[in-house]
Every structure is written in structure tokens, then in C-alpha cells.
Amino acid sequence: MLISETKVRVYYEDTDKMGVVYYGKYPRYYEIGRTEMIRELGFTYKELEDSGIYLPCSSITINYLKPACYDDMLTIRTTVEELPKVRFVFKTEIYNQNQELLNRGEVVLVFFNAAANKPCRAPESFIKMIEKYF
């Protein structure tokens, strides 16, 4: 299993008039978490794209439990529980500075071969890099 934590502060631009994080900002937080996880593994989205493999989103589920507020320091905990094949499933939990669980979600990405214009298996080089965690 892969687990990564990334910290991000809630800025004014992330909030509504009540100082609460706007509901539509959470997918961006999820993306920050998974992008940093992949970077920690020694890979980047850019390298995948340069090799002709894209990772479009096929689904996203978001559960809002408590509000995040202006100036909170959030911890984005991203988890991958299964070695990816064609689908790459990320589970995300977001906590505030008091370790309160605020939000939980899941994002499913699909490995996509740009040249063939269809889904594909995860590249072997990527699998070799992460299989030690499973």
C-alpha cells in the first residue's frame, strides 16, 4: 500500500463568503495529493505524458464531513491500496491542523495510450517502481 501526506494552506481564494472552502476546490486538493505522491515515487505526470501515456479521470467521489476554513493548514493523505493495472485508484482523506477528518474521497484514473487512443495497462517501468509497496 502507498501512503503519502502533503500539507497545503487554505487561501482566501479557496473560500466562499463565509470563509469556508468552496466545495468545488476539493478535487484540486485531491490532485495536489496524488501529484505529490507520484513525484515522491520518482515519477511525474509529465514523464508519463511525454511517453504517450495519459491519466484521465474516470470517476470521482467526494464526502464532505466538516468544513475547512480560511487559513487552516490541511493535510492531504493519499492512499493507493492496490497495484494499478488499467485503473489507478486513489483514496484521499483531508485533515485540518487539529487532526479532524474533514473530507474523504476517491478518484479513479485510467492509463490511456494517446497514440492508440484507448485505455492501456500501466507502463512496466511504472509498475516496477511501485510494486515494492504492495
Active site residues: 16
Contact call for residues 86 and 120 (beta carbons, < 8 A): yes
Place of cell 490511456: 112
Distance, CA of 30 to CA of 43 (rounded, Å): 18
Which candidate, 52, 44, 134, places its Cα nearest to that of 85?
134
Residue 117: exposure state from Cβ atoms within 10 A (0-12, 13-18, ≥19)? exposed
Question: Phi first, then psi: what are they for 37, rounded to 5°?
Answer: -60, -50
Residue type, 68: A
